[in-house]
Chain A
Amino acid sequence: MTAKDVLERLAEIANRRTAFIGLGNRDRGDDAVGLRFIDDLRHLNPNYFFSEEQGLESVILGIINDQEVDDVIFVDSCDLYREPGEYDLFSLESVDESISTHKVPVSMLMALIQNKGKNAYLLGIQPRSLDLNQEISEEIIDVLHGIEKIFLKNLKKKSK
C-alpha cells in the first residue's frame, strides 16, 4: 500500500472500535516507536491503548473477551526493506515473523484475535536505527506524529 492508502485505511479503521498495542524496546532507538505511539495517544482512552510493557498475554486475554473491540492494531518498527520512516499496514497473512522461545509470537496473537471474530493488523514502520541507548530518530517521530493525527482526528470526532 502507498502511504496515502495506509492513512485512508487507518482512518477507516479508526472510525470503528479499535484497540492499539504498541510493541518494542525503549532502549533500542526507533524500536520504541510502537511504545511511543501508545504514550502519545493513551490519554484518548486508556482502555484501548496498550503497550507490550503491560504484559502481552494479559492485554490479549482482555481484548479477545472485550465485546466492544472490533479491530486490533499492533504498532511496531519493522524491517520493510524500505527507506526509514516508510510504513505499511499488514494483515496476518503478510506477517512472517522470526519467533523466539522467550516471547509469545505476535503472529499467533493476531491469529487468535481473528479466531475470536475480530480483525488484526500490524502497522509497521521502517526504523532508521535500532542502536542501544538511543532516542527515537526525529524523522521517525515526525512520521509517527503524521499517523497519530489520523487517530486524533477520528477518535476525537467519535468521542463528541
Chain B
Amino acid sequence: MKEIKVEHLARVEGHGAITVEVDGRKVKDVKFEVLEGPRLFETITLGKTPAENLSVVPRICAICTLSHRYASLRGLEKCLDIKIPEKTHWMRELMLAGEAIESHSLHVYLLALPDLLGYPNAVAMVTKYADSVVQGLTLKKFGNSIMELCSARATHGENPIIGGFGKFPTNEKLYAIADQAKTLIPYAEGVIDILGNMQYPTFFEKETVFACCNPPDNQYGLVSDEIILSDGKKFSCEDYTKITNERVVPHSFAKRSLYKNSPFSVGSLARVNNLGDRLQERAGDAYEKYKNARWKKNPVYNNLAQAIELLYALEQVPVYVEKLVELKDPPIVKPKRQSGKGTGAVEAPRGTLYHSYEVKDGRMAKVDIITPTAQNYEDIEKYLRLAAEYMVSEGRKDDDVRFQLEVIARAYDPCISCSAHLVKLVRK
C-alpha cells in the first residue's frame, strides 16, 4: 500500500491536501483534507450590533468581500425589516458585477490558463501568452476599480451599509466605468474562445446536481431569495439547511454539505448550467456557441463558465449604470424593528453564499455562514476519486496523477481559508 500525496495544493487560497491511498492498481481511499484551522467568525459577532457584524464578517474573504457584505446586508435587513430603494439595489448589483470581474479574471487568466494550456506554472505561460496576462491584469484592475467606486475601498470597503450606501458615486464616474466596460468586452470574448475550443479530459466525468440562486423574472443574475437545483427543486433561501445539510468529517476542518445524501456543486458552472438559457446579448451568444452536455458532468468546464460570466458581468455594468444615473440618491433606510430572523443568499464568484442571522433587541443572537467552497468539498472529493481510480488502474505515473487531481480541484477555484485549504497523493 502506498500513498500519493499533493502536500499543498498550489494556486488555491488556504492550506489543503489531497491524499490518495493506493494498493497496486486500486484506489483504497481519497481524502480532500482541509488543513486550515477553524476561524470562528460565527461566534465573534454574537452580542454585537448588526452594524458591527456587517463590518466584521466580510473579513472572512479578501476577494469575495463584497459578496459577504451583500449576503450579510440581505440577511440583516430581513431581520430589521428594511426594504431598500431601487437605486440601492442597482448599486449593490454593480458592486457584485465588479467583484465577479475581478475574481473571474484573476482565476481564468492568471491561475487556470496555465493548467489548461499545459504549462507547469504561470511563469512558463508568460512567454507565449503575455498579451493574455496583460488582459487579465487589465480586467482585474477594472473589477477592482468598480469595487472601489461602490464600496470606497478595493478590499473591505465600508460604503455599503445597512439600509443603503454612505455615498453614491457621481454620474460622471459611473459613465466612465460603463464606457470602459464596453472596451473590455473583446478581452472576455477572446478568452472564451481559447477555453471553448480546448479539449478537456473525459475520464472522470459523471453527472452531478447544481445549485444556485434563481433570480426573478427569468433573468440571469447573482442574487435571489430562491435557490434552484438542477433536479428541478426550488427552495426559499430561508430553507438553505435543506440543501446544505452540513456535517463534519474526521480528515477536514471544514464542514461538508450533502443534498439528498449526495454531493452537489455551486459556482459559475452551476449558474451557467441552471440559468444559461437566460443569458442575453454576447454572453448569450457565447453560451449558445459552446454549450454542451459535458458541462453537466465535468467540473473543469467551470473555467469556461467563469469566462462566460466575465463577459456577462462586463455587459451588465452599462445596464446598471443606465439605471443608476436616472435615479436620485436615496436616504439610508432606518430599521423598523430591533428583533427578527433572516437569511441572505447571493452568488459569490465561487457559488452560493448564505448568511443567516437572528437579531434580538439590537444584538446578534445567531450567525450561520455557509461558503460556496464548503458546499463544493464533497463534489470535489467525488471527482478526485473518479479521476484517481481511472489513472491508478491505468498505471499512470504519480506525477501525472498529482497534476490531474490538482487541475480538477483548482477548476473549482476553491477558497479554503473562507470555508475554514487542498492535495496529498499518498501511495501506501
Contacts and interface: CB of A to CB of B under 8 A. Distances in A.
B62 interface: yes
Interface string A28-45: 000000000000000000
| Most-contacted residue by chain B among A104, A107, A116 (CB, 10 A) | A104
Interface in B123-162: 123, 125-127, 130, 133-134, 137-138, 140-141, 144, 154
A143 interface: no
Interface string B58-100: 0001110000000000000000000000000000000000000
A112 B134 contact: yes
B110 interface: yes
A99 B11 contact: yes
The A interface, classified by DSSP as helix, strand, loop or mixed, is helix
Interface stretch (A53-61, A74-82, A144-152): A53-61
A61 B415 contact: no
B107 interface: yes
A113 to B, nearest CB: 9
B230 interface: no
Contacts of A64: 134
Contacts of A115: 126-127, 130
B122 A99 contact: yes
Interface in B97-133: 106-107, 110-111, 121-123, 125-127, 130, 133
Interface size class of A (residues with CB under 8 A): 20 to 34
Given A112-B130, A115-B130, A104 B13 contact: no
B96 to A, nearest CB: 17
B12 interface: yes
A6 interface: no
B12 A105 contact: no
B33 interface: no
Secondary structure type dominating chain B contacts: helix
B137 A104 contact: yes
Interface of A: 55, 57-58, 60-61, 64, 92, 98-105, 107-108, 110-112, 115-116
Nearest to B11: A99
Given A61-B134, A101-B106, A102-B415, A111 B122 contact: yes
Nearest to B126: A111
B63 A108 contact: no
A98 B8 contact: yes
A101 B415 contact: yes
Contacts of A55: 141, 144, 154
Q: Which 7 A-B pairs have the closest CB atoms?
A: A111-B126, A108-B122, A57-B137, A111-B123, A57-B141, A101-B13, A115-B130
Contacts of B63: 101-102
B110 A105 contact: yes
A64 B138 CA distance: 12
A60 B11 CA distance: 20
Contacts of A98: 8, 10
29 contacts: A55-B154, A57-B137, A57-B140, A60-B137, A61-B134, A61-B137, A61-B138, A64-B134, A98-B8, A100-B13, A100-B14, A101-B63, A101-B107, A101-B111, A101-B413, A101-B414, A102-B13, A102-B63, A105-B11, A105-B123, A107-B121, A107-B122, A108-B122, A108-B126, A108-B133, A111-B123, A115-B127, A115-B130, A116-B130
Nearest to A92: B123
A81 B413 CA distance: 31
B32 to A, nearest CB: 16
A74 to B, nearest CB: 14
A108 B110 contact: yes
Contact of B133 (A92, A99, A100, A112): A112
Given A61-B137, A98-B8, A98-B10, A104 B126 contact: no
Nearest to A100: B13
Interface centre among A58, A107, A108 (most CB of B within 10 A): A108
Nearest to A99: B11
Nearest to B141: A57
Given A57-B137, A57-B140, A104 B110 contact: yes
